[in-house]
Each structure stands twice: as structure tokens, then as C-alpha cells.
Amino acid sequence: MKIRLIRTAFWCSAIVLAAASLVPVDLLPPQSANIWDKGQHAFGFAWLALVGLLAYGRKPWPMLAGLLAYGGVIELLQAATGWRYGEWLDFLADGLGILIGTALWLVLRRLTTPQN
């Protein structure tokens, strides 16, 4: 039951992140588009990496590669919208966030794994 909830949280988070990344800036709350954009990317992908690895941690590399590809696809879609901008620095921030989320997952895993 717990793993099902974590997986649901992961997929809902991925959908919300994509939607927030692709809607016209005019539809977002006034400050959300102005608050340190790269930090938002890093935080969003750190969250996705952490929750994704908690949900699908048996094979972490496909999850991490998939998240990086997901970040790249979002940037390409933003560039195609005409109202958003795809940026390489945003993609780099996504990758940094994935590294941060992975580090947090490793710490949690170490803290929760019984030591002999």
C-alpha cells in the first residue's frame, strides 16, 4: 500500500511539473515565474528524483536517465510553444536537481537500512 502511494505521488508530481512548465506564463500566479527560475527547476527535479527513487529504487539508473530525458523533452516543448522558452541552463538545473534528489535518496536509504 505504501509503495502504491509513493508511486502515485511520483506520477502526480511529474504531471504537475510538466503542466506548470508548459502553461503560458500569464496563467501562472504572478510571482511563480519570477522566483529564481533555476532554483525552481532544481527543486522540482530533486523532488521527482527523490520520490521516483523511493518508488522505483530497485533499478535507479533507468529512473535517473528517464528523468533527465523528461527534463530535456520539457525544454524542447517549451521552445516549441511560442510563449515559453527552452533553455540549456534550465536543463542543467534539472540535472543538478536530479543529483541532489539522488543524494537525498542515498542518505535516506543508508539511514533506514539496518546495519550489521
State pTM to two decimals. 0.87
**Encoded amino acid at 99, one letter:** L
The Cα-based distances of 39 to 15, 21, 55, 82, 94 in angstroms read 19, 14, 24, 23, 9
Question: Any idea where the domains of the chain sit in the sequence?
Answer: 2-112
- 72-101: average pLDDT: 91
Indicate the pLDDT class of residue 36, thresholds 50, 70 and 90. confident
Here the cell at position 68 is 533527465
Helices (H), 23-87: 37-56, 60-81
Distance CA 6, CA 115 (A): 25
For the ranges 59-73, 74-88, 97-111, which has the lowest average pLDDT?
Answer: 74-88
Asked whether residue 14 carries a pLDDT value surpassing 80, the answer given is yes
Asked whether residue 105 carries a pLDDT value surpassing 80, the answer given is yes
